[in-house]
């Protein structure tokens, strides 16, 4: 049920400069089930990365406000429930800052946030939706999902290479096999929880009314009397209150969803095993196996896995015979109910569900991601850096990553740390005579004596830290760089050609021009000892790229300004970004062609 707040008020205030925009939450749900199922119908919308405060007022001093994300605030601003350990806001006329543009606050990540108000004997629910500024909400979700997927994909490739796992057989994917392992490991605790839920699932008692013969009526209340007065013709029956038990609660719906998901996964696994068995039995002679014994051992192992999965599926589906199971509806929200964490029986199911939706091999995400993913501009940089890795290692790019970042992490057979993307990260690629160093956010020295063959660039300007660069080597000689910078802003805020004509470039334009004009290297085409190269003073920078998202994507592609070595490149989550692959390959080809011309000149000079 959706009602107006009564006896309390919750106000969100966003601040731009001196202007404040208060937003009062007018409507609340009183049913937790409606709260989750009707999330899209009632919510307050605020924008990310803008100062935000919340004010909670109530005449009841014991009232409490709970909200997702409060635990990131300083404890001096909050109160803590001594029993549950949860943080909450007590009523006050003083607003509490949820986000400000300084390092003391974590930005609120785009998405939905729960607000729950305990007010006397009643609990009220509402949603706050944080939307991204520069890209569409769906693009933000795609970007984050792609970052998670690609990071795990990169890590998985590392694991496969380091463990020599055979993925040649079609039938059982590494993901499905991993999910089966998760279910197998969690199976004992899950069955213990299901056995208890079979007999003692959560329920609530509600009052209902039924017509019963007058002589059998035990309870009479105001509604009984009203019905009797309004229906005098039914003198032999009374509408009597009875207590009804309902099991159709959010936690039971979510448990049912998990049971269905696990059973479905086990069915998929059994089908994949059977397909693989059929494929092996149908293969001529030994197929991919060296001996008949190796083939027989594999078939025996597959039969064992199929039998084990079948037994687990039957045990999981046993819960469907519980008297309450068919009375429970389906769970449509993606947000789990509170009980899934507080009740150990439901928590056992929820832990399995989370692991099945995470990863089969334990990939540990560095803790720093919890902050970086709360900043959309930083998330865009991580996403963008991964797009460069994909472009270089694509079929058209043809480069093989050999070390650096996730490609240098150690795998102990069970888990792999997926590192954060810190400044000075470098991934090295190799293809034939070429070696590529993909560098992220490395500070450039301002003196040539501080350079080296592996860090060949320095700057004579004041802009010393581009977001990224591609350093290209041929036969171990440095032949040039591509500089790129991620700009989480519209195209018109990056480059305005009219400001070039009037010589009134803004700071962003001056930065990009500086990268093209002021970067130098003593190691370009050699070791800095050739006087001819020093005399002609060739720039190591082939091009400078400003990478930006376009939320509307009315026009895709690149816009070039050759006078300043500049290209504006749209790179937007959720769209086809294959033009980046073309641009990377094309520009590296230009560098190699230039290097051949210079090397030929040097050879002619020597002869």
Find out whether 524 and 479 touch, Cβ atoms under 8 Å.
Answer: yes
User: What is the mean pLDDT of the segment spanning 273-290?
Assistant: 70
Lowest mean pLDDT among 97-106, 182-191, 541-550, 595-604: 97-106
What's the mean pLDDT when you consider all of the chain?
80
User: What is the mean pLDDT of the segment spanning 6-12?
Assistant: 88
pTM, two decimals, is 0.53
User: What is the mean pLDDT of the segment spanning 509-522?
Assistant: 92
What's the pLDDT at 374?
47
Sequence spans of domains, the chain:
2-131, 166-200+249-365, 204-246, 369-606
Q: Shortest CA distance to 321 belongs to which of 461, 217, 198, 153?
A: 198
User: What is the mean pLDDT of the segment spanning 479-490?
Assistant: 89
What's the pLDDT at 414?
47
Measured at the CA of 57, the angle between CA 53 and CA 60, to 5 degrees, comes to: 150
What's the pLDDT at 411?
47
Is pLDDT larger for residue 253 or for residue 138?
A: 253
| First-to-final CA distance of the chain | 89
Q: Is 174 helix (H, G, I), strand (E, B) or coil?
A: helix
In this structure, the strands spanning 468-474 and 204-213 are unpaired
109-132 pLDDT tens trace: 677 788 999 998 889 999 998 887
344-363 pLDDT tens trace: 899 999 988 888 886 445 55
User: What is the mean pLDDT of the segment spanning 144-165?
Assistant: 60
- Laid out side by side, the sheet with 477-486 consists of 400-403, 425-431, 434-440, 468-474, 477-486, 541-548, 566-570, 558-561
Query: With pLDDT > 90 as the criterion, what percentage of the chain qualifies?
Result: 29
Over 178-228, what HEC string results?
HHHHHHHHHHHHHHHHHHHHHHHCCCEEEEEEEEEEHHHCCCCCHHHHHHH
What's the pLDDT at 220?
72
What's the pLDDT at 371?
42
Question: CB neighbours of 149 closer than 8 A, spacing ≥ 6?
Answer: none
Cα separation of 593 and 588, whole Å? Answer: 9
Convert 264-303 to b/e letters by CB count within 10 Å (16 or more is b): ebbebbbebbeebbeebeeeeeeeebeeeeebeebeeebe
Question: CB neighbours of 540 closer than 8 A, spacing ≥ 6?
Answer: 456, 457, 478, 480, 481, 519, 520, 521, 524
Give the up-direction half-sphere exposure of residue 606: CA atoms within 13 A in the CB hemisphere.
7
Cα separation of 337 and 32, whole Å? Answer: 8
Q: Shortest CA distance to 177 belongs to which of 356, 416, 360?
A: 360
45-89 pLDDT tens trace: 888 778 889 999 998 889 999 988 786 676 677 888 876 667 899
What's the pLDDT at 300?
81
Cα separation of 292 and 307, whole Å? Answer: 23
Question: CB neighbours of 84 closer than 8 A, spacing ≥ 6?
Answer: 342
Cα separation of 309 and 332, whole Å? Answer: 28
Of 42-51, 180-189, 233-242, 436-445, the range with the highest mean pLDDT is: 436-445
- The neighbour count for residue 208, using CB atoms within 10 Å, is 10
| Bridge partners, residue 99, by sequence | 52
Find out whether 322 and 245 touch, Cβ atoms under 8 Å.
Answer: no
Find out whether 557 and 570 touch, Cβ atoms under 8 Å.
Answer: yes
Name the phi and psi angles at 586, rounded to 5. Answer: -60, -45
Measured at the CA of 75, the angle between CA 72 and CA 76, to 5 degrees, comes to: 135
Cα separation of 440 and 348, whole Å? Answer: 41
Q: Residue 514's pLDDT band (boundaries 50, 70, 90)?
A: very high
- The neighbour count for residue 252, using CB atoms within 10 Å, is 24
Find out whether 481 and 470 touch, Cβ atoms under 8 Å.
Answer: yes
What's the pLDDT at 170?
44
Q: What is the chain's alpha carbon radius of gyration, rounded to the nearest angstrom?
A: 32
Query: Residue 381, Cα to own-chain centre: how many angstroms?
Result: 14
What's the Cα-to-Cα distance from 553 to each of 85, 423, 462, 472, 560, rounded to whole Å?
46, 30, 33, 31, 18
Is the predicted pLDDT of residue 229 greater than 90, yes or no?
no
């Amino acid at each position: 049920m959706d009602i107006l707040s009564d006896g309390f008020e919750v106000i969100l205030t966003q601040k731009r400069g001196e202007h404040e925009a208060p937003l009062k939450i007018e409507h609340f749900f009183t049913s937790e089930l409606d709260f989750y199922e009707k999330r899209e119908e009632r919510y307050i919308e605020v924008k990310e990365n803008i100062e935000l405060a919340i004010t909670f007022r109530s005449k009841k001093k014991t009232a409490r406000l709970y909200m997702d994300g409060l635990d990131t605030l300083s404890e001096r601003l909050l109160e803590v429930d001594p029993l549950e350990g949860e943080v909450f806001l007590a009523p006050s006329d003083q607003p509490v800052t949820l986000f400000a543009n300084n390092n003391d606050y974590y930005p609120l990540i785009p998405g939905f946030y729960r607000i729950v108000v305990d007010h006397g004997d009643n609990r009220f629910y509402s949603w706050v939706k944080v939307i991204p500024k520069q890209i569409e909400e769906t693009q933000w979700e795609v970007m984050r999902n792609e970052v998670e997927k690609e990071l795990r994909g990169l890590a998985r490739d590392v694991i496969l290479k380091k463990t020599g796992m055979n993925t040649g057989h079609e039938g059982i994917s590494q993901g499905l096999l991993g999910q089966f392992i998760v279910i197998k490991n969690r199976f004992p605790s899950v069955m213990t929880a299901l056995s208890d839920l079979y007999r003692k699932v959560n329920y609530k008692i509600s009052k209902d009314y039924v017509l019963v013969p007058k002589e059998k009526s035990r309870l009479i209340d105001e509604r009984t009397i009203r019905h009797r007065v309004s229906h005098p013709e039914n003198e032999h029956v009374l509408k009597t209150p009875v207590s009804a038990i309902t099991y159709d609660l959010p936690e039971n719906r979510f448990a049912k969803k998990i049971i269905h998901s696990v059973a479905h996964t086990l069915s998929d696994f059994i089908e994949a095993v059977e397909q693989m068995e059929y494929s092996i039995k149908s293969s001529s002679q030994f197929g991919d196996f060296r001996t008949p014994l190796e083939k027989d051992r594999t078939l025996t192992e597959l039969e064992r896995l199929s039998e084990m999965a079948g037994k687990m599926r039957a045990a999981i589906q046993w819960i469907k015979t519980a008297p309450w199971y068919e009375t429970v509806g389906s769970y449509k929200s993606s947000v789990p109910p509170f009980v899934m964490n507080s009740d150990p029986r439901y928590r056992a199911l929820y832990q399995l569900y989370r692991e099945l939706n995470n990863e089969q091999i334990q990939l540990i995400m560095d803790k720093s991601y919890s902050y970086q993913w709360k900043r959309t501009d930083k998330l865009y940089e991580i996403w963008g850096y991964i797009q460069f890795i994909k472009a270089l290692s694509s079929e058209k790019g043809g480069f093989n990553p050999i070390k650096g970042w996730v490609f240098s992490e150690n795998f102990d057979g069970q888990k792999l740390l997926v590192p954060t993307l810190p400044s000075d990260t470098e991934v090295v690629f190799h293809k034939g005579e070429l070696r590529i160093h993909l560098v992220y956010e490395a500070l450039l020295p301002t003196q040539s004596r501080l350079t080296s063959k592996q860090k060949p660039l320095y700057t004579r300007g004041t802009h010393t830290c581009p977001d990224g660069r591609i350093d290209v080597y041929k036969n171990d000689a440095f032949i040039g760089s591509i500089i790129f910078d991620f700009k989480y802003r519209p195209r018109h805020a990056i480059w305005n050609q009219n400001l070039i004509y009037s010589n009134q470039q803004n700071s962003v334009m001056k930065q990009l021009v500086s990268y093209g004009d002021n970067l130098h290297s003593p190691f370009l085409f050699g070791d800095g000892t050739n006087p001819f190269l020093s005399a002609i003073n060739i720039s190591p920078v082939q091009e400078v790229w400003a990478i930006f998202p376009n939320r509307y994507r009315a026009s895709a592609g690149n816009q070039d300004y050759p006078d300043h070595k500049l290209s504006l490149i749209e790179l937007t989550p959720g769209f086809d970004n294959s033009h980046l692959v073309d641009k990377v390959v094309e520009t590296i080809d230009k560098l190699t062609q230039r290097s051949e011309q210079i090397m030929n000149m040097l050879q002619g000079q020597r002869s």
